[in-house]
Structure 1
Amino acid sequence: MSSKHPIIAITGSSGAGTTTFRRIFDNIFRREGITAFRVDGNAFRRYDRKRMQHMVSQAEKQGRCLSHFAPEANFLDRLEGLFREYSRSGTGLCRRYVENETLADIYGVPVGSFTSWEEVPNGTDLLIYDGMHGGCAENSWTHREMSASHNPVIIRRRKKLKERKMRGIDIAQWVDLLIGVVPVINLEWIQKIYRDAHEKQKSPESTTHTIMRRMEDYIAYITPQFSLTDINFQRVPLTDTSNPFELREIPSLDESIVVIRFREPARYDFPSLLAQIPGARMTRRNTLMIPGGMLDIAIKSICTPLVHELVQRYRSAAAAPT
């Protein structure tokens, strides 16, 4: 962490609902007069879309799993390098992943490919990351191995690190505010199936196959991050989601509750939060439950003071004589 150049990371699987957080944080930045540099986690994928399809096909023929969740499919060392360099100097190397035709027109490269690596521009107040690996840390993977030593992905990874005498990836150590977005798993699957069908024209069968293929990597590399987060937002639907593999509409926020867990509850003024968020109540000393329709208000109420504190520390450090 660094008081000079703070980093916020919003971490969650594809289909988890991080887009809502992106929109609200953009509003917070505008209201607070903050210049943020946004990093899309997809930019640190190792392969472009066409190459990834080929690599997945080859892995399946060999009886192996390969997914975007796994370290082997990403440049996690470069992501950690960006966080480390930005925290120290406010710069670092980043690029963009071209997700759709609109971005392809902007950047002049094909859909499913990447722009060139470029330096983060000078003069930003903070860096905000939105993706699947903002809380990745090798030590969290080894905890998983203790309870599931049969997992060949983790065993291979740890053996390789030991042979090379390398330290593991620890992206989380550079993050000043780490937020987990993790709906209950059935809802996450429903959201992904629905989104892929409507935005990517994928069949429910194709997306279901993807979910099943990458489940081992989800358990190994995504789930452990939520033990390291400062705050977790978990949406729980109040509708029947018992069979998420039917193509259906996503339960609305008003048909949900949101469970919010705070890693360090002493930092927060819960009486004030309860007064600001209609319908909120404490279920544990570190857990707040809110009506789903109050999510926007909750994110603003909880996160605005944290963002303000980070930026004030940065600006004070920058103004201090060296």
Structure 2
Amino acid sequence: MSTKHPIIAVTGSSGAGTTTVKHTFEAIFHRENVNAAIVEGDSFHRYTRDEMTKLIEEAERAGLRGISHFGPEANLVEELEALFRAYGKSATGRHRSYIHDAERAARTGLPMGSFAEWEDLPVGTDCLFYEGLHGALVTDKVDVARHVDLLIGVAPTINLEWIQKLHRDTRERGYSPEAVQDTILRRMYDYVHYIVPQFSRTHINFQRVPVVDTSNPFIAREVPTLDESMVVIRFKDPRGVDFPYLLRMIHDAFMSRANSIVIPGGKLDLAMQLILTPLIWKLMERRREAI
């Protein structure tokens, strides 16, 4: 953790909705005139898409479980921790971009599933913002979570997560439904051992719960909308959280536990604005005082 150079991380699995939370943070940064260095977690994958495919096929031919992006073997987790450490110390560090889609490939001239070159973070930023799979990762070799000042978890119910992933990967990334199902199955060990434990380390978790039938996610024609969902917001430390204010401001919200508030899904952006903006104010105020 760093008072002068704070780090904010949004962590969650593929298809969980971390990108939506990223957009909310970007809106807050813009409104509050916060100059954030933004890092995508996918940029710390170890292998290109073609290299991953080859490694998985070789493992399966040998009767083994192929590696997945959820696990540390397929990611540069030591480099990620090094980035967080360097930023917390001196607001420096290196990152790169992962070429997810055709739009970014056309813009960069690089093939989909590859990486741009490593480059230095911009100079003079107010904070580092990370969005990806491993913002709160702890293993026997790395402790990424200890460097983060504000940790946000995004963890929809598992069937909803799968529906979102299926629709995104088939419609936006060109995968077949069968290929996406195979990926989900191959990732399950790493999901249980490396993704789920992170949500016990986060300061705030946002968990979307659909109120429509998602019992068979592999045949769902549409992703449940926010208005067809409730969102459970859990605070690791509820001290200092103004729950009466949130209940007044968010219509139909209610407390389910002493550290949890439940809101209509359509109010998610409002809730994130109300909850996260004061936390960013606090980080920036501490930074100004330290400088």
Same fold (TM > 0.5): yes
Alignment root-mean-square deviation, CA: 1.1
Amino acid at match of 2:4: K
CA contact (8 A) 1:193 1:247 kept: no
List per-residue Cα deviations over 1:33-75 (Å, max 9, x = no partner). Answer: 0111111000000001111111111122221231001100000
Q: Secondary structure at the match of 1:267?
A: coil
Q: How many aligned residue pairs are there?
A: 290
What's the counterpart of residue 73 of structure 1?
Answer: 74
Mapping of residues 1-322 of structure 1, within 5 Å: 1-62=1-62, 63-138=64-139, 168-318=141-291
The gaps in structure 2 that reach 5 residues or longer are: none
Provide the rounded CA distance (Å) in 2 between the counterparts of 1:93 and 1:43: 11
For the residue of structure 1 that corresponds to 2:218, the secondary structure is coil
CA distance in 1, matches of 2:268, 2:110: 36
How far apart, in 2, do the equivalents of 1:48 and 1:176 lie?
A: 30
In 2: Cα distance, 1:100 partner to 1:106 partner: 10
**Are the aligned partners of 2:55 and 2:66 in contact in 1 as well (CA < 8 Å)?**
no
Corresponding letter in the other structure for 2:78: D
Which piece of structure 1 moves more, 79-88 or 110-119? Answer: 110-119
Q: Please, which runs of 5 or more residues in structure 1 have no aligned partner?
A: 139-166
Distance 1:247 1:255, change over 3 A: closer
Which stretches of structure 1, 4 residues or more, deviate above 3 A after TM superposition? none
Structure 2 length-normalised TM? 0.97
User: How far apart are the structure 2 equivalents of 1:194 and 1:115?
Assistant: 26
Instruction: State the alpha-carbon separation in 2 of the partners of residues 106 and 308 from structure 1.
Output: 35
Deviations along 1:127-153, one digit per CA (max 9) or x if unpaired, are: 110100000012xxxxxxxxxxxxxxx
For residue 247 of structure 1, report the CA deviation from its aligned partner. 4.2
Q: Which amino acid aligns with 2:243?
A: F
> Contact 1:194/1:247 (CA < 8 Å) preserved in 2?
no
Contact 2:65 2:186 in 1 (8 A): no
**Are 1:48 and 1:114, in contact at CA under 8 Å, matched by a contact in 2?**
yes
TM-score by length of 1: 0.88
Counterpart secondary structure, 1:111: coil
Q: Return the alpha-carbon distance in structure 2 between the equivalents of residues 189 and 61 of structure 1.
A: 26
How has the CA–CA distance of structure 1 residues 105 and 201 changed in structure 2, closer, same or farther, with 3 Å as cutoff?
A: closer
Q: Deviations over 1:160-218 (max 9, x none)?
A: xxxxxxx5210000000000000000000011111111101222121111101111110
Which has the larger displacement, 225-234 or 108-117?
Answer: 108-117
CA contact (8 A) 2:199 2:205 kept: yes
The residue matched to 2:9 in structure 1 has which SS? strand
Summarize deviations over 1:94-131 as a string: whole Å, max 9, x none: 11111123222333322211111111111111111010
SS in 2 for 1:96: coil
- Tell me the alpha carbon deviations over residues 264-286 of structure 1, each in whole angstroms, 9 at most, x when there is no partner: 00031111111121111111100
**In structure 1, C-alpha distance between the alignment counterparts of 2:103 and 2:290, rounded to whole Å:** 39
Counterpart of 2:266 in 1: which secondary structure? helix
